Amino acid sequence: MPYDPSAFPPFAVTVDLVVLTVRRHSLCALAVRRGEQPFQGRWALPGGFVRADEDLAQAAERELAEETGLCAHDPSAPAQDNGAHLEQLATYGDPKRDPRMRVVSVAHLALAPDLPAPRAGGDADGARWAPVEELLQQGGHGRDGEPVAPLAFDHAQILADGVERARSKIEYSSLATAFCPPEFTVGELRRVYEAVWGVALDPRNFHRKVTGTPGFLVPTGGTTTRQGGRPAQLFRAGGATLLNPPMLRPEV
């Protein structure tokens, strides 16, 4: 079969972002309001077209920076200051997922510490952090009682897949530290797990587990009382990326 440009149909390729953070004890995702058709006025995941000279990861980093100002870094790259974790999630290519044309979207998952108010991207009316349950309940009601329209396109599915990825990945990796500021306490890390999993964890067993796993946490020497109560040691994320044995998610 010789090379024949007419032998394959043209596609548009986009990246969509599932940006997760933990705010006020709940897992939140970044949503933008669509300013154009289709799904005008509906909430959607941030994203955009991949440019002609761009790698997929570069496109995702660019979109993340545009929407949040975050400087993402590859997990294989050395850790950075303001860096969020960014990884490819999955690719969605149903022929009917975009009514305008054939669009294949390479979804990425970003995990970020709690951020100030998001800034709106170019083609979006506004942006906000919303609890994932709120974004995923189709046709339900938000915290303020307003009816909530489901996310545009297949973004509810993408978000659900991203949340599931994050939930399972913090079990066997040190990724939960990506939700924390550079220095954090064991209790703050525990609240991350509790928010992502939606469960309560025993503070004593959690403390034993994370401080007993070599390379997970390194003490900085400082302490803080920003959570109230007795002063807590401050830690930074250690070099270990894989937790073995893993952190066990409680049953149901």
Q: How many CA atoms lie within 13 A of 102 on its CB side?
A: 5
Tokens of 87: 């990884």
Sign of the alpha-carbon dihedral angle for 124, 129, 132, 135: negative
Say if residues 208 and 195 touch (Cβ distance below 8 Å): no
Q: Work out whether 66 is an interface residue with a copy of itself (CB under 8 A).
A: no
In the shown chain, the binding pattern of residues 177 to 206 toward DNA, with x for contact by CB under 7 A and - for none, equals: --------xxxx-x-----------xxxx-
- Least distance CB 230 / DNA (angstroms): 3
- Least distance CB 108 / a copy of itself (angstroms): 10
Q: Work out whether 77 is an interface residue with a copy of itself (CB under 8 A).
A: no
Q: Assign residue 52 a region (left: φ > 0; alpha: ψ between -120 and 50; beta: otherwise).
A: alpha
**Residue 101 interacting partner from DNA, a copy of itself, none (CB closer than 5 to 8 Å by kind):** a copy of itself
Maximum separation of any 2 CA atoms in the chain, in Å? 72
In the shown chain, the binding pattern of residues 87 to 106 toward a copy of itself, with x for contact by CB under 8 A and - for none, equals: -x-xxxxxx----xxx-x-x
| Nearest C-alpha neighbor of 248 from the set 184, 178, 193, 166 | 193
- Binding residue for a copy of itself, selected from 123, 125, 164, 202, defined by CB under 8 A: 123
- Binding residue for DNA, selected from 183, 207, 236, 240, defined by CB under 7 A: 207
Which residue(s) pair with 29 in the sheet? Answer: 20, 130
Subset of 16-35 contacting a copy of itself (CB under 8 A): 35
Tokens of 161: 């897949």
Q: Assign residue 188 a region (left: φ > 0; alpha: ψ between -120 and 50; beta: otherwise).
A: alpha
- Least distance CB 87 / a copy of itself (angstroms): 10
In the complex, the residues that contact DNA under the rule CB under 7 A are: 185-188, 190, 202-205, 207-209, 211-212, 223, 225, 227-233, 245-248, 250
In the complex, the residues that contact a copy of itself under the rule CB under 8 A are: 1-3, 5, 7-14, 35-37, 49-56, 88, 90-95, 100-102, 104, 106, 122-123
